[in-house]
Amino acid sequence: MITDTILRMPRPQDVVGLSTQQLRETFLVQSLFAPGQLNARFTDLDRLVVGGVMPDAKPIELPNHKETGRAFFLERRELGAINIGGPGKVTADGKTFALEKLDCVYVPMGTKSVSFTSDDAKNPAKFYFLSCPAHAAHPARLMKSAEAAPVNLGAQETSNKRTIYKFIHQGGIQSCQLVMGLTALEPGNVWNSFPPHTHWRRTEIYFYFDLGANVLSHFLGEPKETRHLFLHNEEVALSPNWSMHFGVGTGNYKFIWGMAGENQVFDDMDAVKPVELR
């Protein structure tokens, strides 16, 4: 099911007065995965749709929604999906892609039929996906996590030793404007995307997973007017283009980052000095 309610972002000056519950209702997405279901939400962040699919014994079709304004969901959209569960398959207009855990598939604009299946209903696949508007079609493509040109960053001394896997980007799977990748923190490391940054050219969405029973604090807002959310496993934090996005957990974890906007250059960021944070 794709929920009819659109998640709309406030102006930065309006966030100042939001209560904890209002912040959570605005910037947090929960309960994406349920057995045998597709759950998704439209946002006004570059018209991104965030969703999760957890097939059981039967395939699950990607439905259309009135909000696309088109005859089928991907008529003028593209989609990227990363599997965080057991082995599964994504079939796009009759072409099937097999995904193990942490593999990524890109499905282009113009694809009429998309379905998701699990190889074993007792160990179901979990496909986390993002979709944004597109005006050009690129080839459908699968990328295994080992092919994603992993980049090692951070250090044990600063508790942010991590590996970044870039899937959909200028040097990897080609897309119209969607960018997706994955970051995995090493054991004993808890900070992500710190020192922080912003990028007015594109918005960003973080999906945190493999937290287990750990709790994570995700920080957002403008550098001199920060706010935070406490997240649990398999929850999403939405980040408008004016907001920072970084977090710290009570243990190591992974997160999928996704963006859309004017610019696909990964390192096009406006750095924020930690001493400037308020």
Tokens of 140: 């459908």
Angstrom CA distances, 68 to 50, 124, 155, 192, stand at 14, 29, 43, 33
Least confident of 26-40, 96-110, 126-140, 193-207: 193-207
Q: What is the CATH number of the domain that holds 168?
A: 2.60.120.10
What is the domain range of residue 67?
A: 2-276
The rounded percent of the chain whose pLDDT value lies above 90 is 86
Q: What is the pLDDT of residues 122-177, one digit of tens each?
A: 999 999 999 999 999 999 999 999 899 899 999 999 999 999 999 999 889 999 99
Work out the burial of residue 90: count CB atoms within 10 Å of its CB; fewer than 13 is exposed, 13-18 middle, 19 or more buried. Answer: buried
Q: State the chain's mean pLDDT as an integer.
A: 94
Q: What is the pTM of this model?
A: 0.95
What pLDDT shows up at residue 187? 96
Work out the burial of residue 32: count CB atoms within 10 Å of its CB; fewer than 13 is exposed, 13-18 middle, 19 or more buried. Answer: buried
Residues 52/76, Cβ–Cβ less than 8 Å: no
Residue whose C-alpha is closest to residue 83's, from 153, 180, 203, 161: 180
Query: CB within 8 A of 23, min separation 6: which ones?
Result: 15, 227, 229
Number of domains in the chain: 1
What pLDDT shows up at residue 185? 97
Average pLDDT in the 192-211 region?
Answer: 88
**Helix, coil or strand: residue 12:** helix
With cut-offs at 50, 70 and 90, classify the pLDDT of residue 263.
low
Taking 70 as the threshold, does the pLDDT of residue 108 lie above it?
Answer: yes
Least confident of 55-64, 146-155, 193-202: 193-202
